[in-house]
Amino acid sequence: MPQMSRQDPLIEHHTVDYVPPAERHGKARDLFTLWFSTNIAPLPIVTGAMVAQVFHLNLVWGLLAIALGHLLGGIVIALASAQGPRMGIPQMVQSRGQFGRYGALLIVFFAALIYIGFFISNIVLAGKSIVGIVPSVPVPASILIGALSATAIGVIGYRFIHSLNRIGTWVMGSALLAGFIYIFAHDLPADFLTRGGFNAAGWLATVSLGVIWQISFSPYTSDYSRYLPADIGITRPFIATYLGATLGTMLSFAFGLVAALATPEGTEAMVAVKQATGWLGPILMVLFLLNIISHNALNLYGAVLSIITSIQTFASQWTPSIKVRVVLSGVILAGCCVVALGASADFISQFIGLILALLLVLVPWASINLIDFYVIKRGVYDIASIFQADGGVYGRFNLHAIVAYFIGILVQLPFANTSLYVGPWANLVDGADLSWLVGLVVTCPLYYCLATRQQTQRVKLVNVGYTD
């Protein structure tokens, strides 16, 4: 009987609540396999192809820009992921410790929007992939198959997601390596090394895209590390996440770039992959399809947790059940399928533009989150206060964080170069979007000054009261 009580349920029963020490499990290496496997997928491959097709870089300069962008951005996602074992709660719930109970709602809203956007784009990709493999299957049916499969994984939850990605690391890693070998083992176009060149705008745009790609995952990274034992520390989760996220994305971006250069100029990215890999192409398409579905479960899982976090903000005594997570997953599934079925042919490119625009609101959040956790509070939070109706020691609103957050957004706007908005200084460096850099440089010191000034004032008040 004691053995039975320690068995883990198939379907995860925690939602946004604290994971107690007795229920912690897993190893830091699970974070490597999760983020490595997750990022070997069509969307990063398509984005990698843009380095040659849109930014007009050659192979060498493209690879250098890809590597630099992801190595820089990977620091943010790894630092966010390493918070999970210490806190034992989802990333968005933890934001209450920085913004206050109600102040964190705005961040949760944007995070949910991004998750849902990723979910829709990936079920569209899944649908197209199924049609590409089995042309006789109608597009609507293909989209529904992809969406239902991802939903099933997301509903089962944390443990199953990690298990799939442990398998996926070996399968997808081997498949991508085989793809590289096939391409380089066959005749390459005469302009393979010379097509494109160096241009400052394209190079900086590629670096920025790598940074932004990594930061876009940061709002939900600790959702997948919160079950790890608290004594695992900071360093091991950081290294595992950093290596998994950066290696996986760099390989996928590089594969997209190589495939684009190995086929005639102007070939659509996934068509280029299929053509460049010959008989291996159909096998890669099947594996990519499976990985899209597995990866998309993360987006659904994050969206559900964000919505539950929003509801639970106004109902502090409410502990959501498995049934609630299943129902919410079904509602999101239905809504996303409606949007996906009506998606236009250029939906993916439009979505990437939206994500780049939404990063304007994520960069200041990431800045505040990391400065607060690592520099100001040094990982020490009052978990009970985070779940109290009045916010406990963190209150309902933390004006210092909210002010720093909105200033962090505003200073980016003049430099923004997105499909939704182009700032007056967007062409400061030949059109490269450097707004994220401005956001980081301004928000980090601003929040630190405001937060430490607040702490200094509290200490002075206590000292005055004591001496009197």
Mean pLDDT confidence for 217-224: 84
d(CA 251, CA 275): 19
Mean pLDDT of the chain: 83
The residue that leads in pLDDT, 197 or 323, is: 197
DSSP 266: T
Lowest-pLDDT range, 7-21, 95-109, 236-250? 7-21
**pLDDT band at residue 15, thresholds of 50, 70 and 90?**
low
CB 238 within 8 A of CB 74: no
Q: How confident is the model over 428-464, as pLDDT tens digits?
A: 766 577 888 899 999 999 999 999 876 665 545 444 4
CB 16 within 8 A of CB 305: yes
d(CA 263, CA 273): 8
Provide the token pair at 99. 């913004």
pLDDT above 60 for 468: no
Q: Count CB-CB contacts under 10 A for residue 399.
A: 13
Topology annotation, domain 11-359: Hydantoin permease (1.10.4160)
> What was the pLDDT predicted at 69?
94
d(CA 337, CA 127): 11
> What was the pLDDT predicted at 1?
31
The residue that leads in pLDDT, 442 or 158, is: 442
Nearest to 270 by CA among 127, 142, 398: 127
> What was the pLDDT predicted at 464?
46
* Identity of the highest mean pLDDT range in 8-12, 288-292, 412-416: 412-416
d(CA 437, CA 363): 9
The residue that leads in pLDDT, 264 or 332, is: 264
Mean pLDDT confidence for 58-70: 96
What angle in degrees, to the nearest 10, is found between the helix axes of 42-53 and 280-313? 110
Mean pLDDT confidence for 5-33: 74
**Overall residue count recorded for the chain in this entry:** 468
The residue that leads in pLDDT, 15 or 303, is: 303
pLDDT above 80 for 233: yes
Mean pLDDT confidence for 43-57: 90
**How many contiguous H segments (helices) and E segments (strands) does the chain have?**
19, 0
Task: Tell me the residue type at 32.
Answer: F
Q: How confident is the model over 116-129, as pLDDT tens digits?
A: 888 887 888 788 77
* Three-state SS at 197: strand
d(CA 273, CA 296): 21
> What was the pLDDT predicted at 181?
95
d(CA 357, CA 166): 32
Provide the token pair at 204. 């900086």
> What was the pLDDT predicted at 371?
95
Percent helix, strand and coil across the chain, each rounded to 5? 75, 0, 25
> What was the pLDDT predicted at 23?
84
d(CA 151, CA 148): 5
Mean pLDDT confidence for 159-164: 70
Mean pLDDT confidence for 87-96: 88
Q: How do the domains of the chain map onto residue ranges?
A: 11-359
Provide the token pair at 188. 């390459």
The residue that leads in pLDDT, 342 or 255, is: 255
Using CA of residue 216, residue 222, residue 223, residue 225, what is the dihedral sign? Answer: positive
pLDDT above 70 for 425: yes
**pLDDT band at residue 6, thresholds of 50, 70 and 90?**
very low
> What was the pLDDT predicted at 466?
43
What angle in degrees, to the nearest 10, is found between the helix axes of 42-53 and 200-215? 170
> What was the pLDDT predicted at 222?
86
Lowest-pLDDT range, 74-78, 239-243, 327-331, 449-453? 327-331
> What was the pLDDT predicted at 467?
40
What share of the chain has pLDDT > 90, as a percent? 34
Mean pLDDT confidence for 170-176: 88
The residue that leads in pLDDT, 295 or 10, is: 295
Mean pLDDT confidence for 16-41: 86
> What was the pLDDT predicted at 456?
61
Bridge partners, residue 417, by sequence? 422
Mark residue 48 as left, alpha or beta (left: phi above 0; alpha: psi -120 to 50; beta: remaining): alpha
d(CA 51, CA 214): 17
* Identity of the highest mean pLDDT range in 39-43, 188-192, 428-432: 188-192
* Three-state SS at 58: coil
Q: Count CB-CB contacts under 10 A for residue 50.
A: 22
- Cα separations (Å) of 40 from 235, 267, 354? 24, 21, 22
Task: Tell me the residue type at 72.
Answer: L
Give the phi and the psi of residue 337 in degrees, each rounded to 5. -65, -40
> What was the pLDDT predicted at 463?
46
Q: How confident is the model over 334-382, as pLDDT tens digits?
A: 888 887 777 656 666 666 667 667 778 889 999 999 999 999 999 899 9
**pLDDT band at residue 154, thresholds of 50, 70 and 90?**
low
> What was the pLDDT predicted at 342?
75
Mean pLDDT confidence for 139-148: 80
Provide the token pair at 34. 């999760």
